[in-house]
Amino acid sequence: MKLKNYNLSGLVVVTLFCIGVFATFNSNAARIDTSESHYDDLWDRVRDGFVINTPDIQQVRKLETAYTNHPRLTERIFERSAPYLYYIIEELIQRGMPTEIALLPMIESAFDPTANSNRRAAGLWQFMSATGKSLGIEQNVWHDDRRDVVVSTQAALDYLEYLYDRFDNWPLALAAYNWGETAIRKSIENAAQRDGRAEFHDIRLPQETRNHVHKLLAIKKIIANPSDHGINLRKIPNQPYFDEIQLSSHIDIALVAQLAGVSLAEFNMLNPAYKRPVVKVLNESRVVLLPVQNVDSFVANLAAYDDTLLSWKIYEINQKESINEVARKYGLSMHRLRTINNLEENDQFEIGQRILLPLEIRPIKTNVTIVRNKPDIFKANTNSHAVHIVKKGDTLPDIAKYYGSSIRE
């Protein structure tokens, strides 16, 4: 791991050039050299690290067919893995884990780090909230690190290593990742008592869990021989796509993207954990990912930037305020306030909750009256402002006439 130090507001750029040697999990298997210098296409590295036994059974063949019957969709999933795959492969090789594990996000999330399941699992590796917390994955109003590419990958590989140590079998470890360690252990014990055998295909599993493992094996067979399956597997350069940047101060996400010269879409693709338009630094520095070719520009541009890094202020709800009341108080639409703070339609504020507001706004102190068919209120106090709730069919001339005002006013 190569560490670059920059004396720029506590920035540290960490470049991930980890080179490892992969050892198989079969005691009688030959050691495979998957170090990066031998490869031009990352997919070749992936193939050479395959070690999990793949039985030629009907269930796996059926799932192979399901993928190859939709080649464009399958190819899109493979292409979506490109920004993340090098990092995952490097981590697997460094840990001595089979490269089949790098295909698991294809099954879990179709390699979409923003994916949410109907059970509220999130991220590339689809962690449930409770599981994520048990693995030390931070989740708060500012960021959900189940969607953080680096944090979630490290947690997933830690967890899979733990499961492999418990079961000494990768298909069983993968099944436990899907169904749970306790459930798999009980099923193994029941199978051992019943038949004296307790391998993956001997134990009783929910169909979803068995398919989960079989899908991984089907994807593996397609990647091993894509042309035989009618799949166009585009080359992925065997080099890192992103670097890690540590930030020690709050900063607008839009400003990070601007200084790095990347679009917000690309920034969000690499940093989907952030739930607000700001990188909020709490107790420790926060890491953002940037494309390798943009890191130097970001560092240079940040060094030359002499304006504020944050265009938001934090507002604490200190009384029973509704979203509508706060929006009106600060002259924002409810839609914008919800969007800024990642609020759902039915969400309500709680006392002590912290939200973001644009820095330049000020509370509206004028006497504001909500007027619905009560023009006399407005006319009785010409120093106050009126807010007219527009109804279908209203026009500017009609509203002006209604309040005894001009269209210009």
- Active site residues per annotation: 108
H/E segment holding residue 179: helix 170-179
Q: Which of 221, 216, 239, 240 is nearest to 231 (CA)?
A: 221
Contact (Cβ atoms closer than 8 angstroms) between residue 4 and residue 14? yes
* Cβ-proximal residues to 9 (8 Å cutoff; 6+ apart), any chain: 248, 249, 302
In DSSP notation, 184-206 reads: HHHHHHHHHHHHS--STTTS---
In the block, residue with structure tokens 């989907």: 272
How many C-beta atoms lie closer than 10 Å to residue 202's C-beta? 14
Among left, alpha and beta (phi > 0; psi -120 to 50; other), residue 123 is: left
150 DSSP assignment: H
* 358: β partners: 312
In DSSP notation, 208-261 reads: HHHHHHHHHHHHHHHHHSTGGGT------BSS-SEEEEEE-S-EEHHHHHHHHT
Contact (Cβ atoms closer than 8 angstroms) between residue 125 and residue 156? yes
Task: Measure the CA–CA gap between 221 and 228, rounded to whole angstroms.
Answer: 10
Contact (Cβ atoms closer than 8 angstroms) between residue 244 and residue 18? no
Return the exposure string of 25-59: e unless at least 16 CB atoms fall within 10 Å of the residue's CB, then b: eeeeeeebebebeebeebbebbbebbbbebeeeeb
Task: Measure the CA–CA gap between 108 and 118, rounded to whole angstroms.
Answer: 12
